[in-house]
Amino acid sequence: MMTKEIHSDYPIPPGEFLEEVLEDLGMGKDELARRMNRPAAKLSSIFRGEKEITPATALQIEKVTGIPAHIWTGLESEYRLTLARLLEQKDQETRKTEIPLISKYCYKQLQAFGYVEKKTKPLEKVEELQKFYGVTSLYNLDNVKRYQPFFKQNISPQRSVSSEAIISWLRMGELEAHKIDTKEFNRVKLIELIAILRRMTKTIPSQFQKELIMKFAEAGVSLVIVPHLPKTYAHGATFWLNKNKAVIMTTIRGSWADMFWFCLFHELGHILLHNKQDVYLESDKIEYTIQDIEKEADKFAADNLIPSNEIKEFVKSGSYFRKDIVQFATKIGIHPGIVVGRLQHDNHIDKSWHNDLRDQYHWSKK
């Protein structure tokens, strides 16, 4: 026959029972303290349940009261277990209020990418998300600076940016960055890498992806290419894991090669030009309040991909035929699609012109 355990929902500190015992013995608390050679103030915290009755203390109480030590340790254990159960119930009630946040924090997408396990119960999903983000409550994420990039205002009334999706995307990048072994950050090596990156623009991801990540790692930068999440509208982001390890995130949301390289150089500009303590996020739907910083990063990307004096001379010619673009790109040692993207962006040619020169990338998941 099975017996059912019954637990009290009301935590009673063993100190209350001790008080009753002392009363029966006709002994005051001060007398108990003297007999145990313990400060009265410390025993007072035991009576209030603030301080635990340790095995050593239980043995002393046994000598004074005659009640076995295991009774006192048992009462203490039951009291602490009751407190823990109440705390667990309270935590569960709090977790219930986080259930509406499951979809906002992209649980479905994170599961598809393998970042959280498949769960069916809402509370289990909440717990999975808490583990993924490394927080005791999803509400705490609003106060984590790592996930507070410089984005302030949505400039597209038709599309709303999800701060929860942004946080999820940045956390994915953070976790992937930790997996990459890098050397200590080396500014000189990073600057020297620019020439190599320009040459890589003339190849495809299957040829340069592994080398690209390795070269950045040698300069102390984790380069992570992270899948797109809905309502982030993000192209890339930059932050520091520590003083010797920077992170550049790029997304595989878009496939145009010229956009990828501009974004990469833009984030590289943030690392070389701006504050280590901040998080910079590049997006096509967000207007930054730190316009000067973004303009600096844009100029860094534009000038390092196509030197300003070179593009000025080319634009002066006014000839934008296919052969002219290819010849110019060959001269400056860069992929012609990047030249096309620049000319389209600066409104020198229509957005529909020469798109056959712009590569579309396909990325490896590894």
Q: Is residue 238 one of the residues assigned to a domain?
A: yes
Q: Which pLDDT belongs to residue 9? A: 65
Q: Are residues 165 and 246 in the same domain?
A: yes
Buried b / exposed e along 3-19 (16+ C-beta atoms within 10 A): eeeeeeeeeebbbeebe
Q: Are residues 227 and 345 in the same domain?
A: no
Per-residue pLDDT of the chain (366 residues; tens, 9 = 90+): 333 444 456 788 999 999 999 999 999 999 999 999 998 888 899 998 889 999 999 999 999 999 999 999 999 999 999 888 888 777 777 788 999 999 999 999 999 999 999 999 999 999 999 999 999 889 999 888 778 765 433 344 556 788 899 999 999 999 999 999 999 999 999 999 999 999 999 988 888 889 999 999 999 999 998 888 888 888 888 888 888 899 999 886 667 888 889 989 999 998 998 766 555 555 554 444 457 788 888 899 999 999 999 999 998 988 989 999 999 999 999 999 999 999 999 999 898 899 888 888 877 655
Interhelix angle 122-133/69-96, rounded to 10 degrees, is: 90
Q: Is residue 207 one of the residues assigned to a domain?
A: yes
The residue among 42, 189, 166 whose CA lies nearest residue 106 is 166
Q: Which pLDDT belongs to residue 254? A: 61
| Predicted structure pTM score | 0.71
Q: Are residues 182 and 39 in the same domain?
A: no
Q: Is residue 2 one of the residues assigned to a domain?
A: no
* Domain interval for residue 324: 309-357
Q: Are residues 267 and 130 in the same domain?
A: no
Q: Is residue 145 one of the residues assigned to a domain?
A: no
Q: Is residue 224 one of the residues assigned to a domain?
A: yes
- Report DSSP state, residue 354: T
Query: How many whole angstroms separate alpha carbon 213 and alpha carbon 207?
Result: 12
Q: How many distinct structural domains can be found in the chain?
A: 4
Q: Is residue 363 one of the residues assigned to a domain?
A: no
SS3 label, residue 247: strand
- Report DSSP state, residue 282: E
Residue with tokens 């992929």: 335
Q: Are residues 282 and 314 in the same domain?
A: no
Q: What torsion do the CA atoms of 337, 340, 342, 348 make, to the nearest 10 degrees?
A: 180
**Angle (CA) 198 201 203, round 5°:** 130
Q: Are residues 252 and 324 in the same domain?
A: no
